[in-house]
């Protein structure tokens, strides 16, 4: 199972209405399966600010967090997602070599 699949499987615990995990390692210099972007739409985020949403994702991923370098998170409630229907593009890596 790839790291991307492992992240998707773990995040399924948040009962997402939409889940997209992209391996963006090719945009960075640290090798394969190191950088990911997750777009997660879940009712579990209702009433939570961005920091609390991210903390919920980190807690859900648990020890898996230590197995990759970076995770760009885009977290939305179903209502928020309905108004935007797309997450922002990821920036180019700012640096750092393995």
Number of Cβ within 10 Å of residue 31's Cβ equals 10
Of the pLDDT bands very low, low, confident and very high (cuts 50, 70, 90), residue 17 is very high
Q: Which residue has the higher pLDDT, 27 or 4?
A: 4
Domains of the chain in start order, with CATH, are: 3-84 (3.30.300.90)
Q: Which residue has the higher pLDDT, 70 or 42?
A: 42
Distance in angstroms (rounded) separating the CA atoms of residues 88 and 39: 10
Distance in angstroms (rounded) separating the CA atoms of residues 42 and 53: 10
Helices within 12-49 (DSSP H only):
none
Alpha-carbon distance values, 78 to 57, 70, 92 (Å): 16, 25, 28
Q: Are 24 and 35 in contact (CB under 8 A)?
A: yes
pTM beyond cutoff 0.85? no
């Amino acid at each position: 199972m790839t790291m991307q699949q492992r992240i998707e499987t773990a995040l399924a615990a948040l009962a997402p209405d939409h889940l997209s995990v992209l391996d963006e390692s090719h945009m960075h210099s640290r090798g394969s399966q190191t950088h990911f972007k997750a777009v997660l739409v879940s009712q579990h985020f209702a009433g939570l600010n961005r920091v609390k949403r991210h903390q919920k994702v980190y807690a859900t991923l648990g020890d898996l967090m230590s197995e990759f370098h970076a995770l760009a998170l885009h977290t939305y409630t179903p209502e928020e997602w309905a108004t935007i229907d797309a997450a922002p593009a990821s920036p180019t890596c700012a640096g750092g070599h393995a």
